[in-house]
Amino acid sequence: MGNEASTPVSEDVPPITLTARTVEAVADYIKKNNVKRIVVMTGAGISTSAGIPDFRSPNTGLYANLARLNLPYAEAVFDISYFRNNPRPFYELAHELYPGKYRPTVTHSFISLLNKKGMLLKAFTQNIDCLEREAGVPGDKLVEAHGSFATQRCIDCGTEFPDDRMKDTVAIKEIPYCERTRCEGLVKPDIVFFGEALPESFHRSRSLPASADLAIVMGTSLTVQPFASLPSFVREETPRILINLERVGGLGSRADDVLLLEDCDSGVRKLADALGWRDELEELWETTNPSRSERKKQEAKPKDKQADLDARIEELTRGVDKTLKLSEDHQRQFEKDFAKRPDTGKLDVPAGLAKSVTAAEHKKQSEGEVNDRKSNGSDLSHIYPHLDSKSVDKPSL
């Protein structure tokens, strides 16, 4: 488990369960076999077309954009020990990412459609943006493996903090503190930081992929454990479909793996077309459209959209930059603590989150990405394919 060969299965090897390794064959399989136990596994890539950057995409990913700032390493913004000492960078980001600003994508609506059709066994998401819920996926069908902004509590005494106070505090870029007398600990949304345990719901549902009759993996680099190992729990003969800009996690190595290496919105539309669900999908997605002004934005010229996305990323990183004035002492202390970790440079790996990339590797990678960004300008079309009409129908990688 979790150690699948990364070489794609040869074209000559016939699939076992499917008739072919194509989206049409997957649709056929769903229709003919009364498929009702679909497990969906997602990450930040399903929300990029909503305007939320993912984490690891070169140039546009959050980490590449935080790397030039004064953080010891980009992921420190989600590190619990770093947060204890300096919660500002996180709350600066929280101000940008807080739910309510973004519309679900058609991919979120596709997951909701699976549920409406009684075919969704579970949707596992690593995202904290709550867009699955906003698209109509009910809480009992959802495992928010890395938590979400939906609730929050004191990191010292565990006392819950009221939702409305949290919303107001984040809106004015303040830091919330526990309201319990004499506690005054820091309050944090129930997002799983590096160094924290995953929610109970994840552990309860972790074995479900083994009983799935189809797995759909979308918009994730599958680099963060233990989530990254979920697809390997799917039975060997069960088809798995990956809809992602790049090949990840050894998907493609089994006889019944289907790879759609493209934007997930266009990928789910292809699947919906093959299933004869396209109109239903678009109608369902339309219900998430908050206003006509949003519609106008969707229809804006590609050039305007690109400028808009560039501006959003700029604003995000400038905002963090402004409040991210770590004192030199603080930074030195943190780097000292980090160097002391016994795990030879791997990011924090207690009972909870683990990363398969070392801190040093990631720093190097991030620096490379920043340099790339400098030399390549801010071309976002590889990650927002709708910005480049020529790339819409062809795989991005």
Check residue 55 for interaction with ligand OAD (CB under 6 A). Answer: yes
CB contact at 8 A, 25 and 258: yes
Check residue 66 for interaction with ligand OAD (CB under 6 A). Answer: no
Query: Which candidate in 95, 108, 146, 362 is catalytic?
Result: 146
d(CA 148, CA 135): 15
Q: Which of 192, 198, 268, 316 binds ligand OAD (CB under 6 A)?
A: 192
108 tagged catalytic: no
Q: 372 vs 60, 75, 208, 307, 380, CA distance in Å? A: 11, 19, 40, 19, 13
Q: Which of 23, 38, 57, 178 binds ligand OAD (CB under 6 A)?
A: 57
Check residue 146 for interaction with ligand OAD (CB under 6 A). Answer: yes
Q: Which of 18, 41, 49, 137 binds ligand OAD (CB under 6 A)?
A: 49
The tally of CA atoms less than 13 A away on the side-chain side of residue 247 is: 13
Site for ligand OAD in 249-308 (CB under 6 A): 263-264
Length of the chain (residues): 397
Q: Which of 109, 115, 169, 220 binds ligand OAD (CB under 6 A)?
A: 220
DSSP codes, 185-208: PBEEEEEPPBTSPPPHHHHHHTTG
Take residue 229 and report the two structure tokens written for it.
């190992």
- Rounded least distance, CB 354 to ligand OAD, Å: 11
d(CA 173, CA 375): 33
The size of the interface with ligand OAD (CB under 6 A), counted in residues, is 28
CB contact at 8 A, 219 and 123: no
**For residues 56 and 254, which CB has a smaller minimum distance to ligand OAD in the complex?**
56
**For residues 61 and 189, which CB has a smaller minimum distance to ligand OAD in the complex?**
61
Helix, strand, coil fractions of the chain, as percent rounded to 5: 45, 15, 45
- Rounded least distance, CB 231 to ligand OAD, Å: 12
Check residue 365 for interaction with ligand OAD (CB under 6 A). Answer: no
- Scanning 56-64, 91-99, 271-279, 320-328 for contacts with ligand OAD by CB under 6 A, the matching segment is 56-64
d(CA 366, CA 347): 15
Point out which residues bind ligand OAD (CB under 6 A).
43-45, 48-49, 54-57, 61, 75, 78, 126, 146, 192, 219-221, 223-224, 244-246, 248, 263-264, 353, 383
Q: Any idea which residues carry the catalytic annotation?
A: 146
